[in-house]
Amino acid sequence: MLTVLVLSAALALVFFYAPDDADQGFVQRIFYIHVPLAIVALGGFVVGAAMAVAHLRTRDPRWDMRSYVAIHLALVLAVGVLITGAIWARAAWGVWWDWNDSTLVSFLIIFLLYATYQPLRFAIEDPERQARYASVFAVVAGVFVPLNFMAVRLAQAYVHPSLGSAKNLPGSMRLTFLVSLAGIALLYATLWKYEMTSKYASAQLRALRRKLGAPDATARRSAAPALPPAAQGTV
């Protein structure tokens, strides 16, 4: 409910409150969706890495499940970042993609890196080994995200608007941006919770099926973590 309220408020602010940008005009409103999506997606990858660390420390498969869902959702948001970014680039620069822009290319590298996460999981049949290798991958890739971000920022001057420029926004634009960021972050958290609930419900159903001696028609190789009955619980 809070997510719906904040997202609705963000949309209202974007279209009825925030002024047009002096340089780009109306098209700058893509900023209020593109940048929060990017921040939350990158944050999701880092959160996934932190959860993977917890899994490696505790060997609790629930942390692997949490990490998997966090990365999976961040990847979905990253698709949104790439598409909205391309649309904005076309409107502002006249091109869909600029290979000379280090921010664009670095984000694409991160996206492609995480695009290998699910195939990696799927390639490993043993659930315990799958969880361990996936966690190691999530930690290494999660460390790479901020490092890559900083390296790009320290590089030569570029045309891509930086987060630093967001600090210099006028009050109305900054408020709109912050509400949009909160809305997207809440959306991410809500979807994470829904997905976790769905995964636990599936695992409990599988356990119930085994107890009742029913054949498990849904049992198949999967990239998603398999929770043993003992590890099932609340989100």
Which residues of the chain form contacts with other proteins (CB under 8 A)? 11, 25-27, 29-30, 33-34, 37, 76-77, 79-80, 83-84, 87-88, 90-91, 187, 191, 194-195, 198, 201-202, 205, 207-214, 218, 229
How many Å separate Cα 41 from the centre of its chain?
A: 3
Name which of 164 and 213 has its Cβ closer to other proteins. Answer: 213
3-state secondary structure (DSSP) of residue 25: strand
Q: What amino acid occupies position 179?
A: V
d(CA 83, CA 45): 19
Asked if residue 177 lies in contact with residue 31, where contact means CB atoms within 8 angstroms, the answer is yes
Q: What are residue 25's DSSP bridge partners?
A: 21
Angle between helices 2-16 and 171-211 (to 10 degrees): 150
Asked if residue 135 lies in contact with residue 148, where contact means CB atoms within 8 angstroms, the answer is no
Q: What amino acid occupies position 107?
A: F
DSSP category for residue 231: G
Q: How many CB atoms lie within 10 A of CB 139?
A: 19
What is the sign, positive or negative, of the torsion defined by CA atoms of 45, 51, 57, 60?
negative
Q: What are residue 21's DSSP bridge partners?
A: 25
Asked if residue 80 lies in contact with residue 202, where contact means CB atoms within 8 angstroms, the answer is no
131, 132, 138, 141 alpha-carbon torsion, rounded to 10° = -140
Name which of 172 and 198 has its Cβ closer to other proteins. Answer: 198
